[in-house]
């Protein structure tokens, strides 16, 4: 067996960002250990030849196309089990996201395989793949090896970079899959409904978070303007949520949500550890606080000691200008 | 309807978690508690029972764990389960998520439930997927991260937040549902229920009792091996700017963000 | 932030907390029979004393099936508000071994260490004076500090062990359960009521509200620890404090460190640094540093703590910060540097000694352990008294119940005649002279220690919340936190595993608009940073106090200085592991 089979989720004519990351990663790893980098897509008529072949841009050389329901895990488990059984792949790879977890886990059961989830990096060693995953709330990283084949790798959200390697169109192969009886017992009634009132901060790439240093509830207007300019969402600390300045759904920290956005900008937040544990995995942490001794300055990437009331409005304007111009 | 709720005893969130240097697995000694997410699953079962849309004859709490795990079952019973099943066997020690899912599925096969509920994750394993493993073994449809669940005839109508927004999915029973903590607010057990928990039936089962192939479980049955445990990558110290000329400061910030492609 | 010096002296007692003691905490009469739970012996508090009582009772009942059966389906139940027994327990602790050996005769000291609650027998010991921040002067070990042969233990770990034994022997451990009311019928204690769960910030019932339940018991043991929630009302209801001195309290803040090289001796320091020697400041305090060898993990640990009498007058006195200050002394740096802090906690303890002990029994109930004030605060010894009193209470209750009576007054005599009564009698006047300041009081204390209690004198105490407070200079010496060696309060609370629900009801009662001196007293005193004064509050006059009650680690100090810690929702608060 050899090669890496990756699942690519799609919706409304476009592939999921994390899936593209996984495809890119699969392509990179296949080069290192040998074998084909292939992808599997499951869906309806919107899976055109062109769309499927475009995965070649990200390094896939072959795309298996299966006609089946979209957005559900079990049919994909059936499909991938068949393909791995027929064509032999050493690894199945998934990008972050709910379905990746469900499918990867179902496939693990189906094939009696080894599985690692929340993987943050994969490395090639002696012709095999080693998966790295954090444990104990990111306080340690374990290296995991697989016994036998295939090995199932389920990535953490945003773990794999999307890389357009400029490969040509991938070969699209249609596969007939006879689904298990239970795979048709889950039926999608409505997919992808947007709900306005909910504050979803966990998926945001950019968060502007406000704390006590804002001074008053109205201080959140500064956060909202800046978040708007940056294209992000607004989050809050427990202190201000308790004070009623912002909704609980936006709370980050020990008793709120855990986030790991690309950019976390903390305004008027001291960085006490109860807050830190909720956001320390953020890729880039910027802090604005007037107290030079605030703990947040110990672990931020860029710290500005100053008055947020003076800085934030100007920053908002400058960001708009940079993006617009 | 018969509901089985899968529960797990996990180290208390307040206890510092550590890896046992010998086995390279989580050191599970120390304070333990019923996995908080599982309390939502039990509550969901109770709400189905009390809701009246369907007749629930029995709620059975099931766990796989060492001897001490009976406490998690007592807690589950005090929250409303009618009886419990404790799968415990030395052969199961060191089982990973795949082995655990397989073992639990074998217990559930015997129980033959209409609905299997569990919490979407456990504080210790950080795997988030055991429901899907169990479901595939049982050949049942499943969903994870469900935050709303209603019975409609012989189907379960579930909502969950997926990659693109909220999905509504209808499942035909029997099914396996992992519930998110947003689905409900678990009740507190009454003192009478807590004290009465010891008296409810608790069946202890070993691998042989439910037909588990020991070659597929435990340390030996694991299909993954931990090679090393390393500290996380050290973070470089950050840059600190003291704001004197705000225009200048803001320019520096924008450049910094731009360099890191955060203004795309 | 402190206002100008000498700006008025105000006593917290002038601003009593909004608490209606008898009505709130005493329930007159039981609910109807089908709604209550009936048990044999109810033990309120799963700490050292409560569990010793439970275990001794179970030992006696194991040999007496008839009496066991007469106690019904639930012969012994322990009601503990923490998540698990030990979660709210904290002490130094260096313990005289005999009562524990008596309780578990089949265990050796080595067994104690294997079980994980004991950390070594005391061999070398030293007592130091610390005249300044840099100097230390070893002095010959005064008698109260002689610990050779005693054992360093963790009461949090001991409670966990005792809980397991009690459960194995048939006790019902009702953890995460608070006892909020004492149930009194016809002048007798007939049980306790468990606390409600699922109330919101303002006490309103939430969606998952579950009311408490009346627990009817043939005997009730109040083992709540330092100034327990039901103990105070019981003392008032049954006049148990009559003819005695008022109770006084001390506050201890402790850290546990993993150290690179093992500490070779037991250390106590008696100051004066870091406290002030001025009589005006009224600061009386000392420290301990104990070596701990953890046999389960092989780690070398150190327990370090600072204890201060809560009778001080400078509002900026902070036990937590004084502990951090103490750590800057070279004597301590030598021991801790290169190590890692692995635990922190705080707890109040009763300091009045013999004269302040309440009457220990009332119809239907008894007081054990710290609840009964059985602590020798010169020697810092109370754990063995807790165990001893638990054992004696069990024996008295067993004897009475066996004969069908609920008069447990034989327990009081048993205490008097035991090592507890004798030791506390001997040191009954040894702490009071400290109120005269270090230089005058010190020698007087020594005098009373030397005369071994033979002088027929009774030295009084006064209520600590009556002491007028002023804003002084103690806070100026506190070192800045660096997160590695010197720690702030919030990160300290974090490592206790404090899991109080964000919308839990407020269990702290204080008047919220008080003079600045009182507000500052609470702010500095509280080791968990519960009390805050808004930045824009006026410098003089009255200020509003913000109460961040979810930080509370339930040490109990506020009750001594003008507020009241009432029963929180069960399951909240810290989860001490090795304190």
Ordered DSSP codes for C63-115? T-HHHHHHT-S-SEEEE-SSSSTTTT-----EE-SHHHHHHSTT--HHHHHHH
Q: Does B242 touch chain C (CB under 8 A)?
A: no
Confidence category of residue B19, pLDDT binned at 50, 70, 90: low
Q: Can you give the pTM of this predicted structure?
A: 0.84
Which DSSP helix (H) or strand (E) runs through C22? helix C21-25
Report how far residue C204's alpha carbon sits from residue A320's, in angstroms, rounded to the nearest whole number.
Answer: 46
pLDDT at C4: 33
A308 CB neighbour count, 10 Å cutoff: 27
User: Which of C491, C504, C532 has the highest number of chain A CBs within 10 A, making it the mutation to test binding with A?
Assistant: C491
Residue contact A108–B170, C-beta within 8 A: no
CB-nearest to A135 from B126, B136, B222 is B126
Confidence category of residue B164, pLDDT binned at 50, 70, 90: confident
Q: Does A272 touch chain C (CB under 8 A)?
A: yes
Cβ partners under 8 Å of residue C9, min gap 6: C313, C468, C469, C470, C517
CB-nearest to B195 from C74, C83, C207 is C74
The closest alpha carbon to B88, from B111, B62, B112, belongs to B62
pLDDT at A73: 96
Cβ partners under 8 Å of residue C432, min gap 6: C459, C460, C461
Give, for all 579 residues of chain C, the pLDDT tens digit: 333 334 457 888 888 888 876 788 999 999 999 999 999 999 999 999 999 999 999 999 999 999 999 999 999 999 999 999 999 999 999 999 999 999 999 999 999 999 999 999 999 999 999 999 999 999 999 888 899 999 999 999 999 999 999 999 999 999 999 999 999 999 999 999 999 999 987 889 988 899 999 999 999 999 999 878 899 999 999 999 999 988 889 999 999 999 999 999 999 998 899 999 888 888 989 999 999 999 888 899 999 999 999 999 999 999 999 999 999 999 999 999 999 999 999 999 998 888 899 999 999 999 999 999 999 887 889 999 999 999 999 999 999 999 988 899 999 999 999 999 988 888 888 777 777 666 677 777 777 777 777 777 787 777 888 889 999 999 999 999 888 899 988 878 878 887 677 678 889 999 999 999 999 999 999 999 999 898 788 988 999 998 988 889 999 999 888 888 888 898 888 999 999
Per DSSP, helices labelled H in chain A are: 17-33, 49-53, 73-87, 98-111, 220-230, 238-242, 273-279, 296-299, 308-324
Put residue A166 in one of left, alpha, beta given phi > 0 → left and psi -120 to 50 → alpha: left
Residue contact B14–C210, C-beta within 8 A: no
Is the separation of the CB atoms in C364 and C190 below 8 Å?
yes
Summarize pLDDT for C395-411 with one digit per residue, the tens. Answer: 999 999 999 888 999 99
Sheet holding A62-67, edge to edge: A114-119, A151-155, A91-94, A4-7, A37-43, A62-67, A171-175
Report how far residue C385's alpha carbon sits from residue C103's, in angstroms, rounded to the nearest whole number.
Answer: 12
Is the separation of the CB atoms in C483 and C298 below 8 Å?
no
Please, which residues bridge with residue C27 across strands? C183
Average pLDDT over chain A reads 90
Pairs of CB atoms within 8 A across A/B:
267
Max Cα–Cα distance, chain B, nearest Å: 75
Per DSSP, helices labelled H in C337-456 are: 383-402, 410-417, 419-426, 438-450
* Residues of chain A with C-beta less than 8 angstroms from the C-beta of B95: none
Is the separation of the CB atoms in B126 and B133 below 8 Å?
no
pLDDT at A294: 79
Summarize pLDDT for C490-510 with one digit per residue, the tens. Answer: 878 878 887 677 678 889 999
Confidence category of residue A241, pLDDT binned at 50, 70, 90: confident
How far lies C462's CA from each of A223, C65, C193, C281, C351, in Å? 53, 48, 32, 16, 12
Residue contact A295–C480, C-beta within 8 A: no
Residue contact A105–B101, C-beta within 8 A: yes
Residue contact A185–B222, C-beta within 8 A: no
User: Which of A215, A273, A296 has the highest number of chain C CBs within 10 A, making it the mutation to test binding with C?
Assistant: A273
pLDDT at B251: 94
Burial A185-203 (b: 16+ CB within 10 A, else e): bbeeeebeeeeeeebebbe
Find tokens 């991260």 and name the residue: B145
C477 CB neighbour count, 10 Å cutoff: 15
- In this prediction, residues A146-153 reach a mean pLDDT of 94
pLDDT at C6: 41
> Is B55's pLDDT higher than 50?
yes
Please, which residues bridge with residue B32 across strands? B11
Confidence category of residue B172, pLDDT binned at 50, 70, 90: very high
Find tokens 């005058």 and name the residue: C440
Residue contact B137–A99, C-beta within 8 A: no
CA-nearest residue of chain C to A241? Answer: C502
pLDDT at B14: 61
CB-nearest to C502 from A242, A272, A298 is A242
Q: Does B20 touch chain C (CB under 8 A)?
A: no
pLDDT at C255: 98
How far lies C404's CA from each of C53, C362, C410, C447, C562, in Å? 19, 16, 14, 48, 42
| φ and ψ at residue B195, rounded to 5 degrees | -75, -25
Is the separation of the CB atoms in C233 and C253 below 8 Å?
no
* Residues of chain A with C-beta less than 8 angstroms from the C-beta of B132: 73, 101-103, 105-106, 109
Which DSSP helix (H) or strand (E) runs through C23? helix C21-25
Residue contact A297–B251, C-beta within 8 A: no
Residue contact A273–C494, C-beta within 8 A: yes
> Is B174's pLDDT higher than 50?
yes
- Nearest-neighbour CA in chain A from C118: distance (Å): 28
Find tokens 């304007």 and name the residue: A317
pLDDT at A238: 74
- In this prediction, residues A105-116 reach a mean pLDDT of 96
The closest alpha carbon to B229, from A116, A136, A123, belongs to A136
- In this prediction, residues B238-257 reach a mean pLDDT of 89
The closest alpha carbon to C512, from C568, C562, C555, belongs to C562
Please, which residues bridge with residue B9 across strands? B34
Residue contact A272–C502, C-beta within 8 A: no
CB-nearest to B139 from A117, A141, A180 is A180
> Is B208's pLDDT higher than 90?
yes
pLDDT at B123: 66
Q: Does A257 touch chain C (CB under 8 A)?
A: no
User: Which of C492, C493, C495, C502 has the highest number of chain A CBs within 10 A, making it the mutation to test binding with A?
Assistant: C502
Please, which residues bridge with residue C43 across strands? C78, C221
pLDDT at A278: 79
pLDDT at A319: 95
CB-nearest to B98 from A115, A304, A314 is A115
* Residues of chain B with C-beta less than 8 angstroms from the C-beta of A262: 262
Residue contact B187–C37, C-beta within 8 A: no
CA Rg value for chain C? 23
Q: What percent of chain C has pLDDT over 90?
A: 69
Is the separation of the CB atoms in A3 and A37 below 8 Å?
yes
Residue contact C577–B187, C-beta within 8 A: no
CA-nearest residue of chain B to A110? Answer: B136
Per DSSP, helices labelled H in C418-555 are: 419-426, 438-450, 489-494, 516-525
CA-nearest residue of chain A to C501? Answer: A255
Report how far residue A299's alpha carbon sits from residue B232's, in angstroms, rounded to the nearest whole number.
Answer: 14
| Three-state DSSP class for residue A257 | strand
pLDDT at B11: 82
Q: Which carries the bigger pLDDT value, residue B4 or residue C285?
A: B4
How far lies A220's CA from each of A33, A204, A213, A285, in Å? 51, 18, 11, 19
Is the separation of the CB atoms in C42 and C219 below 8 Å?
yes
A53 CB neighbour count, 10 Å cutoff: 17
Is the separation of the CB atoms in C410 and C400 below 8 Å?
yes
Report how far residue B179's alpha carbon sits from residue B182's, in angstroms, rounded to the nearest whole number.
Answer: 8
Cα dihedral sign, B78-B81-B83-B85: negative
Structure tokens at C217: 């018991």
> Cα-Cα-Cα-Cα dihedral of C161, C164, C165, C169, to 10°?
170
A162 CB neighbour count, 10 Å cutoff: 17
């Amino acid at each position: 067996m050899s090669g890496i089979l990756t699942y690519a989720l799609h919706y409304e004519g476009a592939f999921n960002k994390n899936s593209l990351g996984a495809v890119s990663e699969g392509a990179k790893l296949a080069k290192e250990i040998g074998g084909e980098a292939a992808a599997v897509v499951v869906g309806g008529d919107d899976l055109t030849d062109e769309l499927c072949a475009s995965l070649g841009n990200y390094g896939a050389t072959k795309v298996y196309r299966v006609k089946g329901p979209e957005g559900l895990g079990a049919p994909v488990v059936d499909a991938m089990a068949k393909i791995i059984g027929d064509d032999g792949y050493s690894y199945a790879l998934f990008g972050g996201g709910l379905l990746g977890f469900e499918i990867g886990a179902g496939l693990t059961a189906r094939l009696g395989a080894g599985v690692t989830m929340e993987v943050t990096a994969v490395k090639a060693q002696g012709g095999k793949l080693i998966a790295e995953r954090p444990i104990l709330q990111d306080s340690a990283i374990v290296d995991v090896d697989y016994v036998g084949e295939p090995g199932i790798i389920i990535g953490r959200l945003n773990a794999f970079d999307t890389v357009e390697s400029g490969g040509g169109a991938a070969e699209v192969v249609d596969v007939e899959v006879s689904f298990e009886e239970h795979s048709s017992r889950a039926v999608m009634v409505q997919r992808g409904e947007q709900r306005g009132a909910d504050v979803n901060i966990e998926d945001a790439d950019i968060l502007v978070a406000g704390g006590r240093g804002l001074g008053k509830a109205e201080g959140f207007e500064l956060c909202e303007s800046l978040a708007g300019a940056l294209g992000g969402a607004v989050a809050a600390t427990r202190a201000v949520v308790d004070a009623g300045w912002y909704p609980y759904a936006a709370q980050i920290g020990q008793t709120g949500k855990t986030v790991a956005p690309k950019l976390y900008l903390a305004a008027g937040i001291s960085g006490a550890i109860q807050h830190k544990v909720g956001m320390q995995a953020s890729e880039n942490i910027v802090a604005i606080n007037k107290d030079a001794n605030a703990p947040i300055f110990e672990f931020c990437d860029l710290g500005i000691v100053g008055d947020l009331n003076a800085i934030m409005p100007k920053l908002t304007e400058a960001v708009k200008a940079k993006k617009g111009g | 309807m018969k509901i089985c709720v899968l529960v797990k005893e996990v180290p208390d969130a307040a206890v510092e978690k550590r890896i046992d240097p010998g086995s390279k697995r989580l050191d599970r000694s120390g304070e333990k508690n019923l996995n908080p997410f599982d309390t939502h699953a039990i509550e969901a079962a109770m709400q189905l029972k009390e809701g009246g849309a369907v007749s629930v004859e029995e709620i059975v709490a099931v766990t796989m764990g060492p001897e001490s795990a009976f406490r998690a079952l007592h807690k589950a019973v005090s929250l409303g389960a009618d009886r419990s099943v404790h799968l415990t066997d030395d052969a199961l020690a060191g089982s990973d998520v795949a082995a655990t899912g397989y073992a639990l599925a074998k217990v559930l096969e015997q129980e033959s439930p209409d609905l299997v509920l569990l919490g979407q994750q456990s504080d210790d394993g950080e795997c988030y997927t055991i429901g899907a493993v169990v479901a595939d073994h049982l050949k049942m449809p499943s969903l994870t991260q469900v935050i709303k669940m209603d019975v409609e005839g012989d189907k379960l109508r579930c909502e969950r937040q997926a990659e693109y927004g909220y999905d509504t999915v209808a499942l035909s029973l029997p099914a396996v549902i992992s519930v998110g903590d947003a689905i409900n607010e678990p009740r507190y057990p009454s003192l009478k229920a807590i004290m009465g928990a010891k008296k409810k039936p608790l069946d202890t089962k070993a691998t042989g009792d439910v037909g588990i192939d020991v070659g597929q479980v435990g340390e030996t049955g694991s299909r993954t091996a931990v090679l090393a445990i390393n500290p996380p990558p050290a973070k470089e110290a950050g840059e600190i700017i003291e704001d004197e000329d705000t225009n200048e400061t803001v320019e520096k910030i924008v450049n910094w963000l731009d360099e890191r492609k955060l203004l795309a | 932030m402190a206002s100008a010096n000498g700006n008025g002296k105000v006593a917290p007692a002038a601003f009593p907390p909004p608490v209606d003691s008898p009505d709130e905490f005493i329930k007159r009469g039981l609910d109807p029979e089908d709604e209550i739970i009936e048990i044999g012996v109810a033990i309120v508090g799963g700490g050292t004393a409560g569990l010793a009582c439970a275990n001794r009772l179970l030992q006696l009942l194991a040999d007496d099936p008839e009496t066991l059966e007469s106690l019904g389906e639930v012969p012994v139940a322990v009601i503990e508000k923490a998540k698990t027994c030990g979660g709210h327990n904290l002490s130094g602790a260096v313990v005289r071994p005999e009562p524990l050996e008596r309780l578990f005769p089949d265990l050796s000291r080595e067994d104690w260490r294997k079980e994980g609650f004991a950390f070594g027998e005391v061999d070398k010991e030293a007592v130091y004076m610390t005249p300044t921040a840099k100097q230390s002067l070893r002095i010959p070990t005064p008698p109260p500090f002689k610990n050779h042969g005693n054992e360093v233990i963790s009461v949090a770990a001991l409670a966990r062990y005792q809980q397991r034994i009690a459960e194995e022997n048939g006790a019902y451990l009702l953890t995460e359960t608070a006892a909020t009311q004492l149930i009194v019928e016809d002048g007798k204690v007939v049980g306790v009521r468990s606390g409600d769960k699922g109330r919101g910030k303002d006490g309103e019932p939430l969606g998952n509200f579950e009311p408490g339940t009346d627990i009817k018991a043939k005997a009730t043991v109040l083992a709540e620890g330092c100034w327990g929630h039901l103990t105070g009302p019981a003392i008032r209801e049954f006049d148990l404090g009559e003819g005695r001195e008022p109770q006084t309290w001390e506050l201890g803040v402790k850290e546990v460190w993993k150290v690179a090289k093992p500490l070779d001796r037991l250390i106590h320091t008696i100051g004066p640094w870091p406290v002030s020697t001025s009589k005006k400041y009224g600061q009386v305090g000392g420290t301990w540093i104990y070596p701990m060898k953890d046999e389960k993990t092989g780690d070398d640990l150190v327990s370090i703590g600072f204890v201060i009498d809560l009778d001080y007058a400078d509002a900026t006195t902070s036990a937590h910060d004084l502990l951090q200050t103490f750590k800057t002394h070279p004597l301590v740096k030598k021991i801790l540097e290169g190590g890692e802090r692995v635990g922190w906690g705080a707890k109040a303890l009763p300091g009045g000694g013999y004269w302040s002990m309440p009457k220990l029994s009332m119809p239907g109930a008894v007081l054990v352990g710290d609840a009964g004030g059985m602590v020798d605060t010169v020697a810092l010894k109370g754990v063995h008294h807790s165990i001893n009193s638990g054992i004696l209470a069990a024996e008295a209750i067993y004897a009475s119940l066996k004969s069908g009576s609920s008069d447990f007054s034989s327990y009081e005599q048993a205490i008097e005649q035991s090592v507890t009564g004798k030791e506390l009698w001997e040191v009954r006047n040894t702490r009071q002279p400290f109120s005269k300041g270090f230089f005058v009081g010190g020698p007087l204390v020594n005098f009373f220690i030397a005369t071994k209690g033979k002088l027929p004198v009774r030295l009084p105490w006064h209520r600590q919340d009556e002491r007028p407070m002023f804003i002084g200079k103690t806070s100026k010496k506190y070192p800045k936190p660096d997160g590695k060696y010197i720690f702030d309060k919030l990160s300290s609370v974090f490592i206790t595993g404090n899991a109080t629900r964000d919308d839990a009801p407020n269990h702290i009662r204080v008047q919220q608009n008080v003079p600045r001196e009182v507000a500052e007293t609470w702010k500095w005193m509280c080791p968990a940073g519960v009390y805050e004064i808004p930045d824009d509050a006026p410098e003089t006059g009255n200020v509003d106090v913000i109460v961040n009650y979810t930080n509370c680690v339930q040490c109990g100090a506020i009750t001594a200085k003008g507020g009241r810690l009432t029963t929180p929702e069960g399951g909240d608060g810290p989860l001490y592991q090795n304190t």
